[in-house]
Structure 1
Amino acid sequence: MINATMPVGSAGQTPEVPRSVFITGASGFIGRMLASRYRALGAEVWGMDLQADPTNNVVAGNLTRPAAWAEHAKGCELFINTAAVVSLAAPWKLYREVSVRGVRNCLDIAIAGGSKRFVQFSSIAALGWDYPDQADERCDVVIGSQYRYGVAKGASEHLVLAAHAAGEIDCTVIRPGDVYGPGSRAWLSEPLKMAKAGALILPNHGRGVFTPVYVDDLLDGVMLGAGLPQGRGQIFHLCGDGPTTCKDFFSNHWRWAGRKGSPRNLPLWLAVGFTRVLWGANQLLQNVNEATPDAMYMFARKGNISSAKAQRLLGYQPKVDLAEGLRRSEAWLRETGQIN
């Protein structure tokens, strides 16, 4: 059931419902949920994704060829960019074209179309994997040749905040934690497939920190950040009620796959070496596979992420704890036939 209420801010204020919203990546997990939520509130919602969905006002397009969908975004008050290269295995060229140049294309279209606010979806991956505990928005973003997805996200943030600083358009950057819930491919369906195949491997005995946030809680935070004046020019971390370990989180997938115990594990150095060889082989064979060194680094994260800034400025408060979120997720996996 779609929540048809606006979240309440830190001072009791409720953001105004935008008259119209444009969402890139509108058919993806988060984009689709955002579209449904805004529609339930009475907003007109338009969007773009790789495949058209006329029923939901979504046209076909991508961030690298904006002319094909620019007219569709014209006149929308709120522009939300969720589209990106959602992969830890893509080449640098693709990250640059989509997650950097493509974001500038989105900014140009939003500005030309008269949007009042631009919301960029980044990720806590922008911090890398070796950040301090309770990392907040002041921490360094990752640079270098590793962790390409995070490096690209950090670069996209720079473009957006530069546009805000130059007075081109009011911008807000959202860094979600590990977003899960019914419809999640990245943290439900894909790990379940790997568990069924016995290929779900965690580094360092699964002690890496996982920062789950249930999708409905994320939507609350996005709407507060996009709709309140306190969100202008800011980066916000949006995580759930607390961290868990990768072992505890993914042991659910192992159990759902009918397996006993916990996922297999390797020392980080060995997991990185193994996936580096596997990644190279997959590139030669042109196989699509997310078993990469960067995935192992992601599963070896050392600290929790702080959402204190979003709580202080926006009144963000996650409502769905991990136990309830996993219960709903398991029910969805069963309803869709992914679990017998």
Structure 2
Amino acid sequence: MTTTMPVGEHGQQPAIPKSVFITGAGGFIGRAIMARYKALGCEVRGMDLQPDESAGIVAGDITDPASWAAHAKGCELFIHTAAVVSLAAQWPAYRKITVAGTRKAIDVAVAAGAKRFVHFSSIAALGYDYPDGADENWPVTIGKDYLYGVAKGASEHVALAAHAAREIDVTIIRPGDVYGPGSRAWLIEPLKMAKAGQLILPDNGDGVFTPVFIEDLLDGIMLAAGLEEGAGQVFILWGGETVSCNEFFSHHWHWAGRSGSPRSLPLKAALALTKGVWRMNQLLKRHDEVTPDTMLMFSRKGGFSIEKAKRLLGYRPKIRLAEGMRESEAWLKASGELD
């Protein structure tokens, strides 16, 4: 665990905040942020649907702050990660939790006296059909498809409106595909699907995956959250190393003891199949991430620019995919997910 504040390429180094509050603190990214700031000696508190009193995490619903708002009182830095983290939800849930929940989190941060509000969006806000090298100026996606990304874009509007109104300084983070020890979305769930032979990629897995190792993301978060240059800005943070979905998920396929590559279907067939599976899961009230939007995400054609984060923050990702996957495999074995 890193015990020093990251330093940007040009010598940028934020001051260590005295106290930090994190929504969604029990999630993969939330827990990683909490551990990093605690290692620096910060007082760190948080809320999540599942409490962990030993870690300073109280139970709470982002849409109903009454039960947890007092826990944030006096925080200097407020980091908002709570959201619907799924490509399988329906719009009412995204609207209530991801979008309206962001406004409620801002209200709590302002009342608590926080100086900076860091809002977690996603590269999904740019949709799945964007040009290679798209940066923070590319329009956010709208429409009836890819609702996870639509909701993330809408939540950015809520946060930036608060900044424009001078309620609180806001920084927006758009992480890439975050993986590493503890990742449910990009380690545990794909491994389960690979073991069951259900890991399917569209168009031979030729779509682009944009991984960022969790420790690299944490460096970028801390620089963006602590530097004056981060106020009022949107930052794309990922590893800068594009790989195909086939290359990334072949690791899981091989960890599951399978040879060759994950199964594939043409995109149109994959969309039709997953649409049927998603509808059936809705009827049965069963959750998994086999959805048309997942297939669309796996059909992306390019990476993203991190030039803005490099220029303003001195952000430089250090962990390449091969090293990150070695650490991930070691964690899967240590945690019992792999023999």
TM-score, length of structure 1 as denominator length:
0.99
- Give the corresponding residue for 2:71: 72
CA distance in 2, matches of 1:278, 1:184: 24
For 2:194, the equivalent position in structure 1 comes to: 195
Query: How many pairs does the alignment contain?
Result: 339
After TM superposition, give the deviation of residue 221 of structure 1 in Å: 0.1
Equivalence map 1:111-190=2 (5 Å): 111-190=110-189
Q: Name the SS for the 1:251 alignment partner.
A: helix
1:300 and 2:299 aligned: yes
The match for 1:336 is 335
CA contact (8 A) 1:241 1:322 kept: no
Q: Give the distance between the partners of 1:11 and 1:275, measured in 2 at CA.
A: 47
Measure, in 1, the Cα distance between the counterparts of 2:338 and 2:255.
Answer: 6
- For the residues of structure 2 that align with 1:57 and 1:289, how far apart are their CA atoms? 30
Aligned-pair Cα RMSD in Å:
0.7
- Matching of residues 255-266 of structure 1 within 5 Å: 255-266=254-265
Aligned to 1:17: 16
Query: Do the aligned residues in 2 keep the contact of 1:128 with 1:147 (CA within 8 Å)?
Result: yes
Displacement, 1:9?
2.5
Residue 202 to residue 275, structure 1, CA distance change in 2 (3 Å): same
Q: Is the 8 A contact 1:243 1:304 kept in 2?
A: yes
Q: Hey, what does 1:47 align to over in structure 2?
A: 46
Q: Are the aligned partners of 2:8 and 2:316 in contact in 1 as well (CA < 8 Å)?
A: no
Q: Hey, what does 2:235 align to over in structure 1?
A: 236
What's the offset of the Cα at 1:11?
3.2
Q: Quick check: 2:17–2:42 contact (8 Å CA) kept in 1?
A: yes
**One-letter code aligned to 2:160:** L
> Which deviations, in whole Å up to 9, do the C-alpha atoms of 1:172-219 show, x marking residues without a partner?
000000000000000000000000000000001100000000000000
Structure-1 residue corresponding to 2:31: 32
1:198 counterpart SS class: coil
Matched residue SS, 2:170:
strand
User: 2: distance between equivalents of 1:155 and 1:293?
Assistant: 21
Gaps of 5+ in 2: none
Q: Give distance in 2, aligned partners of 1:246 and 1:28.
A: 24
Structure 2: which amino acid aligns with 1:296?
A: M
What's the offset of the Cα at 1:241?
3.6
Structure 2 length normalisation: TM-score? 0.99
1:10 Cα deviation after fit: 4.3
Aligned residue for 1:82?
81
CA contact (8 A) 2:12 2:314 kept: no
Establish whether residue 281 from structure 1 lines up as the match of residue 280 from structure 2. yes
Q: Which runs of 5+ in 1 are unaligned?
A: none
Displaced runs of 4 or more, over 2 A: none
CA contact (8 A) 2:45 2:71 kept: yes
**What is the distance in 2 between the residues matched to 1:337 and 1:250?**
19
Mean Cα deviation higher: 279-288 or 176-185: 279-288
Tell me if structure 2 keeps the 8 A contact 1:10–1:313: no
> The residue matched to 2:7 in structure 1 has which SS?
coil
Distance in structure 1 (CA, Å) of the matches to 2:292 and 2:39 = 41
